């Protein structure tokens, strides 16, 4: 299963990187810059084929890629000879105007953004099935006694149904997550239905320093009706079947599924379960095992709410895709700003290993539900990664596309080419920064996988 996730993850990342490099490639050809090589993956080529003046390659390491444009030799010679400028040789990267170089540098991130719009447009055009839970909540403080959370301090109670946050109508738990996670440390007006009353409350999500997201301390309310049982799991061996309603576990009533968290936290060796099947009360024992201090896998999941989104017309789908891309773009920028507010960077910053695992995990888990769910969930996640890659590359840091754009803007303002020595120093700083960030991210990835 792990191998399958890695393969799916590498394929997904390969697509996103291909789109990025394709943007650079097409823009370079458009403005008259010669492309010497176009590669998906880094390292020694395991496949290469020359077509026209371009050599197409597949690198040994399938994460990343590059579009090698003509001009590196001219730049290196000018640097070594300490010349004041790079010779403007026709067809080379530095032989064209800085405005055209800006176009080429911007094209990669732009293609990632365009890819996200088109992917999301296709998904919304076809429509997709969403698995979520009710907008009724359970307070985390009721599951974890003694702990305090913003939801409880705001006056929310277990069993409340959240119907509106700010100006956003809430119909399911996914809606709650989207609004809360995007608004840490902001006062939010919350409309709640409790019994026959409608209450207006104010909640202020706290900043989760492990993720950079807002949280208020609520779980979803889900009735403990079994939706699926894993074959040969402890639950399956004990005779639990899909459709069974769990009533009590180890003598404790189980009104909602998250109540199981508190029971499993004490790592009981046996779960004595009272459940109902077709109106008949039954009892069974589920034998659990624990390895390396990890939580036991009971082997059963609970029923979720499912709904199918409406199918949009081609134009409507394109507009919806653009709206969703913009919304994700803005949320990603806000999340980037949170990196400077004391969050745990080893948790919040993902490197290539973790991203590969996450893409593969999303694909494997969602395809396990259905082909349609797998395609839509994987495409959504790839769109998210593509937007993140766009933002990252537009940062004004040396060696990134944004850093190169900054250099070329300076060149336009100054009115003359920059010295090769200046460009080289700028790129060297970039290499050191990116290499350091990569080591940090990979270290975080290793810690992430160790916790899995």
Q: Which positions are annotated as active-site residues?
A: 21
Report the 10 Å Cβ neighbour count for 78: 21
Residue with tokens 């754009």: 405
Find the largest Cα–Cα distance for the chain: 89
* DSSP E strands, 270-400: 270-277, 280-287, 300-302, 305-308
Q: What are phi and psi of 210, to 5 degrees?
A: -90, -20
Q: Which residues have a Cβ under 8 Å from the Cβ of 228 and sit 6 or more positions away? A: 242, 300, 301
**Nearest 5 degrees, angle CA 19-CA 24-CA 30?**
120
CB 236 within 8 A of CB 299: yes
Tokens of 11: 């394929």
Short-list 435, 411, 442, 447, CA closest to 101: 411
**Are 70 and 78 a contacting pair, CB within 8 Å?**
no
Q: Which long-range contacts (CB under 8 A, 24 or more apart) does 277-284 make?
A: 277/241, 277/243, 277/244, 277/245, 281/247, 282/239, 282/244, 284/238, 284/239, 284/240
Contacts of 67 (CB under 8 A, 6+ apart): 21, 24, 25, 28, 35, 37, 38, 39
- Residue 319: CB atoms within 10 Å: 15
> Would you call 249 helix, strand, or coil by DSSP?
strand
């Amino acid at each position: 299963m792990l191998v399958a996730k890695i393969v799916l993850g590498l394929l997904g990342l390969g697509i996103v990187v291909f789109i990025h490099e394709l943007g650079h490639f097409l823009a370079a050809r458009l403005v008259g810059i010669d492309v010497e090589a176009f590669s998906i993956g880094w390292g020694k080529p395991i496949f290469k084929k020359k077509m026209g003046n371009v050599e197409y390659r597949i690198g040994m390491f399938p994460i990343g890629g590059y579009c090698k444009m003509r001009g590196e030799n001219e730049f290196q010679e000018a640097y070594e000879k300490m010349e004041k400028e790079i010779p403007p040789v026709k067809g080379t990267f530095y032989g064209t105007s800085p405005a055209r170089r800006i176009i080429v540098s911007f094209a990669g991130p732009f293609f990632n953004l365009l890819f996200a719009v088109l992917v999301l447009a296709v998904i919304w055009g076809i429509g997709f099935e969403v698995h979520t839970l009710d907008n009724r909540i359970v307070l985390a403080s009721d599951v974890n006694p003694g702990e305090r959370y913003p939801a409880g301090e705001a006056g929310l109670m277990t069993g409340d149904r959240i119907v509106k946050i700010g100006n956003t109508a809430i119909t399911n738990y996914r809606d709650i997550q989207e609004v809360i996670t995007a608004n840490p440390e902001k006062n939010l007006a919350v409309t709640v239905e409790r019994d026959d009353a409608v209450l207006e409350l104010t909640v202020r999500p706290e900043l989760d320093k492990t993720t950079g997201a807002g949280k208020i301390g609520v779980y979803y309310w889900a009735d403990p009706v079994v939706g699926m049982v894993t074959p040969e799991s402890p639950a399956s061996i004990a005779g639990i079947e899909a459709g069974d309603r769990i009533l009590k576990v180890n003598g404790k009533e189980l009104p909602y599924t998250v109540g199981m968290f508190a029971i499993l936290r004490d790592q009981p060796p046996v779960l004595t379960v009272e459940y109902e099947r077709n109106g008949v009360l039954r009892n069974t024992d589920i034998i659990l095992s624990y390895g390396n201090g990890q939580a036991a896998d009971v082997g059963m999941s609970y029923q979720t709410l499912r709904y199918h989104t409406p199918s949009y017309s081609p134009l409507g789908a394109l507009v919806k895709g653009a709206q969703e891309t913009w919304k994700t773009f803005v949320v990603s920028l806000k999340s980037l700003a949170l990196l400077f507010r004391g969050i745990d960077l080893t948790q919040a910053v993902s490197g290539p290993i973790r991203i590969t695992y996450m893409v593969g995990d999303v694909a494997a888990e969602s395809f396990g539900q259905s082909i349609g769910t797998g395609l839509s969930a994987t495409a959504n996640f790839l769109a998210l990664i593509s937007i993140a890659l766009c933002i990252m590359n537009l940062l004004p840091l040396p060696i990134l596309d944004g850093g190169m754009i900054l250099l070329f803007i300076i060149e336009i303002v100054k009115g003359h080419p920059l010295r090769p020595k200046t460009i080289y120093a700028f790129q060297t700083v970039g290499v050191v920064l990116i290499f350091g960030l990569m080591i940090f991210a990979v270290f975080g990835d290793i810690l992430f996988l160790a916790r899995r």
